[in-house]
Amino acid sequence: MIPTSAVVCLATAGVYLFVAAHFGGLWAMRRNTREHGLFAVLCVVLAAFALGVAWQRTTQTVAEAVPAQMLIFTSVSLAMAAYAAFCEQVGGRGLAVPTPTPVERLAWVVGGIGAAITLSGLSLDPAVPSVHWDGRLTSHGGHAIPQLLPLGWAGLVGGLAATTIAVARLGRRALADRDLRSTFIAACLPVLVGIADAVERAYGPGTSIASALAPLTAVVGITWALLGRMGRVETELAARTEELASSYDRVREAQQELVRKEQLAAVGELSAVIAHEVRNPLAVIRNAVSGLRRPELKAADVETLLVILDEEADRLNRLVQDLLAYARPAEPTPESIELPRMLERAVELAREGQSHRKNIEFELQFDETVASIECDAALLRHALINIADNAIQAMPEGGTVSVRVRATELDGRPAVAIDFHDEGEGMDTLVRSKARDPFFTTRQTGTGLGLAIVDRVARVHGGRVEIESRHGQGTTVTLVLPRQRVSLALPGSFS
């Protein structure tokens, strides 16, 4: 017949396992709550300890008691380590202390050594029963207890010392944190009972049923404290979430107001650019028309004025195209593009648009591994023409534009880089930092939208624009695009 004390220990083990399952589940759902994981481990080890005590209560000889005592001392060593680690964690820097403290490391080392000593059979003497306080060999309450060897005592005392230090450190933190006081009070009882049990084993019959039941009180108290703490954290989190949502609404309103102000500023800046860029061609056109009205005008002069009208009309047309391209939302329609043919056509169009500039040469170099790319043909053509135009305009006295297509990577994905290098004067640091800003230009003519459009086309394709330049050494503009279309949220206009 199983003794009543053994039945009580078995029931206690069941309670430990239930609590372990609960907090283990909490840890599995919230991996950042390390204290829940440590408490689950502690309860599992305490369950093993209670099972060992129940087993011991059913033994009649020392030889039968040795396996039960090995289970008891192995679980005791690990329980003290887990207990110290839990106290360090719960009294540490919050719910998620990422690095174990020195005391926690010491506890795990001592606990591991103690468990290894027990499992290797060096902590218990199976041939000698425990000595009672009056010097007689005894079988206490119908169960036998083998004698604890010096190595076993060393592991037991070392584990108790590490656990006592951890609980004492928890108590020191509890003085300043009311939430930790109930946890500290509950944590003290098992340590006191453990010390008393060690003394009893030294001078009496050994492990009593109180050793298995005492941690239950602590587990109940700590469970109550942890659940209360988690409830308070969730309440605080809900309050912070509500506060964050309110702050987000205020930030969104401020952003909307800022956008409205930026739109007004952009409209004013755009109006100034249009007024400046349109006024000059209109003045030239007006003068040319006035000249054409003269009846005595020679045929050669008429031809000259017609050429001027054609150039200024092209200039106005280019201005309107840039403004429309900049203001219209970019919505790419990806398709497979033969990059060499696309680049050659863009260079040809750029040269035709600036046919008055002489002594401009283009050198094209292609990487055979990047013959095609998935992108929007119209947007890419516009971007390439703008880069080529800037390169041509950077060399008023003529020169060579080197264009190179090469394979590269963009955020770990296969990509294509298209380099345009001119032999112009280059840019200083200030000009280079503003080169992609809308309406920024250092030339007397131009809208300052060329590289802004290029940058926008690159971004809607998941790419980027890189600019390398030094004053007097030319400029290299690199358009980097992924080989395959990246799904992005498409931005609207730069207003």
Sheet holding 413-421, edge to edge: 360-365, 399-410, 413-421, 475-482, 464-469
Reduced 3-state DSSP string for the chain = CCCHHHHHHHHHHHHHHHHHHHHHHHHHHCCCCHHHHHHHHHHHHHHHHHHHHHHHCCCCCHHHHHHHHHHHHHHHHHHHHHHHHHHHHHCCCCCCCCCCCHHHHHHHHHHHHHHHHHHCCCCEEEEEECECCCCCECCECCECCEEECHHHHHHHHHHHHHHHHHHHHHHHHHCCCHHHHHHHHHHHHHHHHHHHHHHHHHHCCCCCHHHHHHHHHHHHHHHHHHHHHHHHHHHHHHHHHHHHHHHHHHHHHHHHHHHHHHHHHHHHHHHHHHHHHHHHHHHHHHHHHHHHCCCCCCHHHHHHHHHHHHHHHHHHHHHHHHHHHHHCCCCCCCEEEEHHHHHHHHHHHHHHHCCCCCCEEEEEECCHHHCEEEECHHHHHHHHHHHHHHHHHCCCCCEEEEEEEEEEEECCEEEEEEEEECCCCCCCHHHHHHCCCCCCCCCCCCCCCHHHHHHHHHHHCCCEEEEEECCCCCEEEEEEEECCCCCCCCCCCCC
> Closest Cα to residue 456, out of 330, 328, 335?
330
CATH class (in words) of the domain with range 4-243: mainly alpha
* pLDDT (tens digit per residue) in 14-40: 888 888 888 788 788 776 677 778 888
Tokens 């298209």 belong to 418
Q: What is the CATH superfamily name and number for domain 332-482? A: Histidine kinase-like ATPase, C-terminal domain (3.30.565.10)
**395 or 232, greater pLDDT:** 395
Highest-scoring range by mean pLDDT, 26-35, 205-214, 319-328, 333-342:
333-342
Question: What pLDDT, on the 0 to 100 scale, is given for residue 10?
Answer: 84
Question: What pLDDT, on the 0 to 100 scale, is given for residue 140?
Answer: 44
Question: What pLDDT, on the 0 to 100 scale, is given for residue 276?
Answer: 67
Q: Is the pLDDT of residue 450 over 70?
A: yes
Show the tokens assigned to 465: 């624009």
Question: What are residue 23's phi and psi, to 5 degrees?
Answer: -75, -25
Mean pLDDT of 296-309: 85
To the nearest whole number, what is the mean pLDDT of the chain?
Answer: 76
Distance of CA 365 to the CA centre of its chain: 39
Q: Is the pLDDT of residue 489 over 50?
A: no
| Beta-bridge partners for 140 | 143
**CA–CA separation, 86 vs 80, rounded Å?**
10
Residues sharing a CB contact under 8 Å with residue 32, sequence separation 6 or more, in sequence order = 95, 96
**CA–CA separation, 398 vs 385, rounded Å?**
18
**412 or 169, greater pLDDT:** 412
For the chain, what percent of residues have pLDDT higher than 90? 8
Question: What pLDDT, on the 0 to 100 scale, is given for residue 31?
Answer: 65
Q: Is the pLDDT of residue 495 over 60?
A: no
Could you state, in order of their start, the residue ranges of all structural domains in the chain? 4-243, 332-482
* pLDDT (tens digit per residue) in 125-141: 665 555 433 333 334 44
How many other CB atoms are found less than 10 A from the CB of residue 232? 11
Show the tokens assigned to 268: 């004013």
Query: Which of these ranges, 189-198, 207-216, 284-293, 469-478, has the smallest mean pLDDT?
Result: 207-216
**396 or 151, greater pLDDT:** 396
CA distances from 457 to 74, 379, 416, 448, 488 (A): 67, 6, 14, 16, 12
For the chain, what percent of residues have pLDDT higher than 70? 73
* pLDDT (tens digit per residue) in 104-121: 787 788 888 888 877 787
pLDDT band at 401 (very low <50, low <70, confident <90, very high): very high
Distance of CA 134 to the CA centre of its chain: 66
Question: What pLDDT, on the 0 to 100 scale, is given for residue 145?
Answer: 60
Question: What pLDDT, on the 0 to 100 scale, is given for residue 170?
Answer: 72
How many other CB atoms are found less than 10 A from the CB of residue 473? 13
Residue 410 and residue 370 in contact, taking contact as beta carbons nearer than 8 Å: no
Question: What pLDDT, on the 0 to 100 scale, is given for residue 167?
Answer: 74
Report the predicted TM-score, pTM, of the whole model to 2 decimal places. Answer: 0.43
Q: Is the pLDDT of residue 67 over 80?
A: yes
> Closest Cα to residue 434, out of 463, 455, 418?
455
Tokens 């009672």 belong to 132
**442 or 383, greater pLDDT:** 383
